[in-house]
Chains A and B, each alone.
Chain A
Amino acid sequence: MAEVRLDGLTKVYPNGFQAVTELSLELTDGEFLVLVGPSGCGKSTALRMIAGLEEITEGDLYVGDRRVNDVAPKDRDIAMVFQNYALYPQMTVEENIGFPLRLRKIKKAERKQVVAAAAEVLELTEQLDKKPANLSGGQRQRVAMGRAIVREPALFLMDEPLSNLDAKLRVQMRADIAGIQRNLGVTTFYVTHDQVEAMTMGDRVAVIKDGVLQQVAAPEDLYDTPDNVFVAAFIGSPSMNLYEAEIVARGSGFAVEMGANTLALDDSVIADRPGLRDYVDTALVVGIRPEDLEDGAVSRDHPADRQLDATIDIREALGAETLMHFALEATMVDSGDPDALDELGEEGASRCTGRFSAATRARPGDRIKVNVATENLHFFDRSTHLAVRT
């Protein structure tokens, strides 16, 4: 168990493709750090550099005080759980879990003990004599975990370990893995493209895009105060709604204009972020979380100058809440997430998603008023896409 430090890790492939650019991260002892990003963002390359399966082009990697750039994977004191588990099919569960110990010439009796203890933690005791082919996906996943655990490594690496499980099992394993990690207290570096996994499992979450680190923060901070447009859109589901906008002076206060819509701003919004004054009459990006939108018919005492006019397109009732998709006359902003499903709408008419209370009666086609909690709006610079927070 140890601290792990990535100092300016860069990976350039022989064909010139730069997969990771100057990635610097520090993992404290026992920390669960999740590296999250869309597909092809370089997160797996980063993980493989730490594992030693991929050469580090530039930068330094420290496990504890030791620089391990040129150390072979097996000597780095790092264990890895692979996406497809990579179990040895000819070995039983017991042999699979005990394999790293066997290679370290640990005696059979002691090996048996350690494996039994790990199996206990992972609830695999009943399966020890089975071969991987006879296990369920979740069990295989746990065997792969077991193989990592018995080594008592300084660092766990996990490469999208839940992506092959069905949705229900994934939710359970998410909690299981986080729980096991906490019990063992092993520093863990976890890679995923699923921001829900990142938010629920990580002590801290690092968001990466195109090989460049965007922001590292605790999950709540990442959600509440994203550093830029990409992080804002990537974290949270459904995604933050992002529009081109302008701040205008209105009477004694200010308002934000998004296409045909104008929303009055609390004085506190400007007071908290005096930097916004520089953006008056200047194009910027405004972000609205779906949870900051509500059906005007549900909560009636909302000020009329903080409402949007909308026509409902699609209604998704989830029981506890209802997701409402509607058209909004404003220009959407591309967050740069290649995995984002929603295409940008036509100029002047774009989509917006709101997370409404289940009490809403609005139906597709209805013309409704949508309340906006303007005190929670996010603002970003139009050209740099960086958050305006001060």
Chain B
Amino acid sequence: MTRRTFGWFAWPSVAVMSVLMVFPLVTTVFLSMTRIFLRDLSSREWIGFDNYTEILQDPDFWSAFRLTMLFVAIVVPAHVVLGFGLANLLDRVTRARGFYLAALLLPFIVTPVVSTLLVRDLFDRGGLLSWLWEVVTGDPFVIHAGNVKWVIILHGIWSITPFAVITFFAGMQTLPEERIEAADMDGAGFWAKQRFVVIPHLRSLIIFVLLITIMDAYRVFDSSFVFGQSVGKSAHALSVYSFNTALNAQIGRIGKGNAISVLMVIGIFVVLIPFLRKSYQEQIADR
């Protein structure tokens, strides 16, 4: 193929990518270096890295950063383990599989805002779990600035786990029965079979689920936003912090909000690049 024909084939996707990705990214970076407000978009002032220094000195940023990191660090591994366990159970079910599958998928299907409200009503004063807590400890459970992050994390695990369940369950269906039986004959118990047969078979799916959910958990928004309405900043994750700064606050500091977004993009790259590199190298080695 000549360079010219290659160009003809490639230009439509290059054009689409430019419009959808490069242009917004460049605009974001540009805006992040200006002072510009939502109520008056016409006045714009170039201020270099001032927004960034301001953010890095803002305790609200660090609070949101810590919450986001904690969320990713707990939700991602927890839901992979839980998803694997549930997929295993589902794999054992022979009757009414569809029913269980649908029931497991429910948290994933419900609109995140709605599911957050559900969880809030369960945990907050007057809710069922709050009442149970009172039965056990004597005091009703109340969501406040100190414990809200755990409720957000719990909700995160609950709502994302079905994704891992259905992916792993689908993967298990492609595992040849013979391989399990061979492990049986070779002397493998339950855990050995998981370790040497099932998990290796699901390996690429596990990596896929990890990649997707790290990105997804990193931009957690809905639950953080909803809880933020009642308990304030301590419920804010990075994306809510960015949203509030740029669009929600009285002034609407678009420049600063964009700077937060740029920092988030850099952050996710830092998290994912070693990951991507490792799985790429393995793919090459396996070939």
Contacts and interface: CB of A to CB of B under 8 A. Distances in A.
Interface string A78-93: 1110111011111100
Contacts of B184: 52-53, 72-74
B278 interface: no
Interface stretch (B5-13, B161-169, B192-200, B230-238): B192-200
B39 interface: no
Interface in B171-221: 176, 178-179, 181-189, 192, 196-197, 200, 203
Contacts, number: 55
A86 to B, nearest CB: 4
Interface of A is mostly: loop
B178 A51 contact: no
A74 B188 contact: yes
Q: Which of B187, B189, B192 is packed against the most chain A CB atoms within 10 Å?
A: B187
Given A90-B203, A99-B196, A84 B185 contact: no
B187 A90 contact: no
A147 B178 CA distance: 14
Interface residues of B, number: 17
Given A84-B176, A84-B178, A99 B186 contact: yes
B185 A80 contact: yes
Nearest to A150: B186
Contacts of A78: 185
A59 interface: no
A89 B200 contact: yes
A103 interface: yes
A82 B178 contact: yes
Contacts of A83: 178
Q: Which of B182, B183, B184, B200 is packed against the most chain A CB atoms within 10 Å?
A: B182
B183 to A, nearest CB: 8
B102 to A, nearest CB: 26
23 contacts: A51-B181, A51-B185, A53-B184, A73-B184, A74-B184, A74-B185, A78-B185, A79-B185, A80-B181, A80-B185, A82-B181, A83-B178, A84-B178, A86-B179, A86-B182, A88-B179, A88-B183, A88-B200, A90-B203, A99-B186, A100-B186, A103-B188, A151-B186
B200 A147 contact: no
Contacts of A73: 181, 184-185
A10 B118 CA distance: 55
B286 to A, nearest CB: 8
A107 interface: no
Q: Which of B183, B184, B185, B196 is packed against the most chain A CB atoms within 10 Å?
A: B185
B72 to A, nearest CB: 28
A221 B200 CA distance: 49
Contact of B181 (A86, A91, A99, A104): A86
A103 B186 contact: yes
A82 B196 CA distance: 18
Interface string B123-150: 0000000000000000000000000000
A105 to B, nearest CB: 10
B181 A74 contact: no
A84 B196 CA distance: 18
Q: Which of B179, B186, B188, B196 is packed against the most chain A CB atoms within 10 Å?
A: B186
Nearest to A51: B185
Given A51-B181, A103-B186, 12 more contacts: A53-B181, A53-B185, A73-B181, A74-B184, A74-B186, A74-B188, A82-B178, A82-B181, A84-B178, A86-B179, A86-B182, A88-B197
Nearest to A147: B186
Contacts of A53: 181, 184-185
Interface string A29-57: 00000000000000000000001110000
A26 to B, nearest CB: 22
Contacts of A89: 200
A63 to B, nearest CB: 14
Contacts of A91: 196
Contacts of A74: 184-189
Interface string B92-136: 000000000000000000000000000000000000000000000
Nearest to A133: B286
Interface string A323-359: 0000000000000000000000000000000000000
Contacts of A103: 186-188, 192
B272 to A, nearest CB: 24
B186 A90 contact: no
Contacts of A80: 181-182, 185
Contacts of B186: 74, 99-100, 103, 147, 151
B192 to A, nearest CB: 6
Q: Which of A78, A82, A87, A104 is packed against the most chain B CB atoms within 10 Å?
A: A82
B178 A100 contact: no
B200 A100 contact: no
Nearest to A159: B178
